[in-house]
Amino acid sequence: MHAIADKESPIYLRELVQHVSETVSHSKLRFCDSNTFIKPCTGTKFAEQAFFFAGPAVWNAYVKTHYFRLAF
């Protein structure tokens, strides 16, 4: 996910996930400047194992922990 955020990954991986700042509805929010990705809604537990869901979920949890440790 770090390579996707820095645009160093292949295009097909970058097309699977969407950065928060790339969406119009989230572009003016405070957390838009953080390095997080949108976690899409899925209809099944099976779909939650796919990269487009699991990648942003794990990355956002990591970023949250990282910023929390920096603050305290």
Identify the pLDDT of residue 28: 58
Domain that holds residue 58: 2-71
Report in angstroms the alpha-carbon separations of 63 from 44, 47, 59: 25, 23, 6
Give pLDDT, residue 9.
86
Report d(CA 36, CA 64) in Å as an integer. 9
- Higher-confidence position of 53 and 5: 53
Domain count of the chain? 1
35 has a pLDDT exceeding 70 = yes
The pLDDT value recorded for residue 46 is 93
Residue 70 pLDDT grade (very low, low, confident, very high; cuts 50, 70, 90): confident
State mean pLDDT over 16-39.
68
Q: Average per-residue pLDDT in the chain?
A: 81
CA distance 35 to 31: 8
